[in-house]
Amino acid sequence: MNLEKLAELLFPNNKYTVEELEKKYPKRNLKEGAEVTRFAPSPTGFMHLGNFFQATISYNIGKRSGGVFFIRIEDTDQKREVSGASAIIMEILTSYGYIPDEYQLKGGVTVGEYGPYYQSERVDIYKAYAKKLVAEGKAFPCFCKKTEGLSDVKEKREKKFSVGINEDKDPCRNLTLEQIEEYINEGKKFAIRLKSNGSVDKKVKFYDVIKGEIEMAENCSDAILLKNDMIPTYHFAHAVDDTLMGTTVVVRGEEWLPSVPLHKEIFDTLGYKQPKYIHNPLLYKLNEEGNRNKLSKRKHPEADMRFFDREGYDKQAVIEYLINLINSNFEIWRKNNPSVDISEFPFDGFNITANTPIFDLVKLNDISKEIISRYSAKKCYEELLLWARAYSPENVDYLVKDKDYVIKVLNIDREKPKPRKDIYKWNMFFDLFDYMFGVPSSYEVENQKQFEEVVKNYQKYLCLDSKDIWFEKVKEMAGELGYATDNKAYKQNPENFKGNVATVCEYIRVAITGRKNSPDLYEIMSLLGKEEVLKRLSQFA
């Protein structure tokens, strides 16, 4: 068959040739060791924590190697596309400081020389490659109804349809030029399929950065490259785009692992070298019985990145938590370098922990507590206000009006060598410190009689001149009411006392805060002021 003629028949008006494209997108001028990585989400309107985990690996490899990190929006599946989704993706990434070197905003700017960065705007590019493969006899048109709209292996599996084992008896492989011409004249649509040379009996080997060397059966499927609407399948677009855009490391979910033999054949057929692959594992979560489940947006609210914003998690904590899942030596490094910027951590994208990552909210909370405990009160205030503006607007006026007081409240047991570690997300602030903004709504009292005696008497002893004097006065009252002021004596004969000074402090604490546990009581009382403290005590008079 005259393949040149066939290619011309199928693609009469192509905008580019492959040669032109190779010139238009020259090899990147990179320094030794620099890697080009990308994040290539499908714009479905929501970012899964697992995708963000992937972006974390990609971003760090690209940026830390002095290379490039870019965003490519894989919007070839128009059915699943949600409008505004790519803006959400950019917003999330940039809010965590993952600023891409190259990207495109829908209907807006394009930054970078390797765009368009939306696959839907690259159709002319894919068509150039499809034409070349047809002209070389490496791909063929397929007029089967069955190939309509089928984009990837998963979709095919769902429809229980397996496209093209490379059998010579496949009718589409054996069409004559005349038949094809006839179909085209009838206005029939066609897909372009790979003419696979693979054999089920042969194996291919490839290297995955996390999983090591992997051996799989060769691809022998005449896979669809362009669907009959000329939209590429993921497989074809991956090979074309990652080649032209100069990607050196592809970080993607491990669900793509079975497709690597097909990708290998497509790259080989195009005469291009495959990039390095990191197939990152999916995130799991343990359920109450201790069994693993995939982190899913249906079952786990934290699968959606918006959860962390809504709850007011510290962004740095989310990043550090994920870095720790990627490089398990991070935890020790952080312990030894508590206040060093994370950019100093020797991140190693080529030595990723191979264990299945289990997402553990308690651990994230601990990391977040640690980070927030080192913030100044002013920084806490700024973060709290930022969060409130987005998620708790009813508190904004108050936060702004009483800024100084709020900063003082945030400063209780803070900016000290051993700061208090209680806040791990901003939405807990008002519950945690409710007593600083109003009278408690309930009181943790066990011994009502003793409690009331202490609280009533304490009004006479209340003194907030200094912490020492305040404590002396508490002690004085304790002694007079029959509580031990000497702990040794109390331990030897507890039955001689109603309790000790700590018991007395607890009663006062409950009267003021409603709780048995709180940060430093003197600091709380001083901040509330004598008048407010007396008001709270007098309720029990």
Instruction: Considering the complex, state which of residue 71 and residue 384 has its C-beta at the smaller distance from ligand GLU.
Output: 71
Residue 518 three-state SS: coil
Instruction: Considering the complex, state which of residue 76 and residue 228 has its C-beta at the smaller distance from ligand GLU.
Output: 76
Task: Respond yes or no on whether the N-terminal peptide bond of residue 261 is cis (omega within 30° of 0).
Answer: no
Chain center to CA of 208: 22
Cα distance between residue 523 and residue 466, in whole Å: 10
Binding mask 348-387 for ligand GLU (x = CB under 6 A): ----------------------------------------
> Minimum CB separation from ligand GLU for residue 267, in Å?
13
Instruction: Considering the complex, state which of residue 254 and residue 532 has its C-beta at the smaller distance from ligand GLU.
Output: 254
Binder of ligand GLU out of 131, 138, 156, 252 (CB under 6 A): 252
Instruction: Considering the complex, state which of residue 37 and residue 411 has its C-beta at the smaller distance from ligand GLU.
Output: 37
Q: What are phi and psi of 377, to 5 degrees?
A: -60, -35
Instruction: Considering the complex, state which of residue 40 and residue 92 has its C-beta at the smaller distance from ligand GLU.
Output: 40
CA dihedral 296→301→305→310, nearest 10 degrees, is 170
Looking at residues 8 to 67 of the shown chain, list those that interact with ligand GLU (rule: CB under 6 A). Answer: 40-42
> Minimum CB separation from ligand GLU for residue 250, in Å?
6
Pairing relationship of beta strands 276-280 and 249-253 according to DSSP bridges: parallel
Q: What are phi and psi of 193, to 5 degrees?
A: -120, 150
Cα distance between residue 501 and residue 476, in whole Å: 9
> Minimum CB separation from ligand GLU for residue 133, in Å?
21
Confirm or reject binding of residue 238 to ligand GLU (CB under 6 A): yes
Instruction: Considering the complex, state which of residue 121 and residue 181 has its C-beta at the smaller distance from ligand GLU.
Output: 121
> Minimum CB separation from ligand GLU for residue 338, in Å?
35
Q: Which among 106-114, 153-161, 249-257, 406-414 is the span making contact with ligand GLU, rule CB under 6 A?
A: 249-257
> Minimum CB separation from ligand GLU for residue 176, in Å?
37
> Minimum CB separation from ligand GLU for residue 75, in Å?
9
Looking at residues 143 to 172 of the shown chain, list those that interact with ligand GLU (rule: CB under 6 A). Answer: none
Instruction: Considering the complex, state which of residue 70 and residue 451 has its C-beta at the smaller distance from ligand GLU.
Output: 70
CA dihedral 405→410→411→415, nearest 10 degrees, is -150
> Minimum CB separation from ligand GLU for residue 105, in Å?
18
Instruction: Considering the complex, state which of residue 234 and residue 345 has its C-beta at the smaller distance from ligand GLU.
Output: 234
Segments of 247-380 assigned E as strands: 249-253, 276-280, 284-286, 292-294
> Minimum CB separation from ligand GLU for residue 66, in Å?
22
Binding mask 66-105 for ligand GLU (x = CB under 6 A): --------x-------------------------------
Pairing relationship of beta strands 203-208 and 212-217 according to DSSP bridges: antiparallel
Looking at residues 181 to 220 of the shown chain, list those that interact with ligand GLU (rule: CB under 6 A). Answer: none
Cα distance between residue 249 and residue 471, in whole Å: 63
Cα distance between residue 352 and residue 310, in whole Å: 30
Among 500, 514, 506, smallest CA distance to 435 is for 514
- The alpha helices in 411-464, defined as continuous H runs, are 429-432, 448-461
> Minimum CB separation from ligand GLU for residue 125, in Å?
17
Is residue 143 within 8 Å of residue 133, measured between CB atoms? no
Instruction: Considering the complex, state which of residue 234 and residue 483 has its C-beta at the smaller distance from ligand GLU.
Output: 234
Instruction: Considering the complex, state which of residue 41 and residue 312 has its C-beta at the smaller distance from ligand GLU.
Output: 41
> Minimum CB separation from ligand GLU for residue 223, in Å?
16
- Number of residues counted as binding ligand GLU (CB under 6 A): 8
User: Burial, 100: exposed, middle or buried (Cβ in 10 Å; 0-12, 13-18, 19+)?
Assistant: buried
Cα distance between residue 124 and residue 117, in whole Å: 13
Q: Which among 245-253, 293-301, 351-359, 448-456 is the span making contact with ligand GLU, rule CB under 6 A?
A: 245-253
> Minimum CB separation from ligand GLU for residue 71, in Å?
11
Instruction: Considering the complex, state which of residue 59 and residue 190 has its C-beta at the smaller distance from ligand GLU.
Output: 59
Q: Is the C-alpha dihedral spanning 71, 72, 74, 75 positive or negative? A: positive
> Minimum CB separation from ligand GLU for residue 294, in Å?
15
> Minimum CB separation from ligand GLU for residue 252, in Å?
3
Structure tokens at 210: 């996390």
- CB burial string 140-166: b at 16+ within 10 A, e below: bbbbbeebeebbbbeebeeeeeebbeb
Instruction: Considering the complex, state which of residue 157 and residue 203 has its C-beta at the smaller distance from ligand GLU.
Output: 157
Cα distance between residue 490 and residue 513, in whole Å: 27
- Rg, the chain, Cα only: 33
Instruction: Considering the complex, state which of residue 245 and residue 371 has its C-beta at the smaller distance from ligand GLU.
Output: 245
Residue 191 to residues 131, 146, 148, 215, 480, Cα–Cα distance (Å): 12, 10, 8, 30, 94
CB within 8 A of 95, min separation 6: which ones? Answer: 309, 315
> Minimum CB separation from ligand GLU for residue 246, in Å?
15
Is residue 156 within 8 Å of residue 144, measured between CB atoms? no
Instruction: Considering the complex, state which of residue 254 and residue 422 has its C-beta at the smaller distance from ligand GLU.
Output: 254
State the Cα angle at 304 between 394 and 365, rounded to 5°. 75
Residues that bind ligand GLU in the complex, under the rule CB under 6 A:
40-42, 74, 238, 250, 252-253
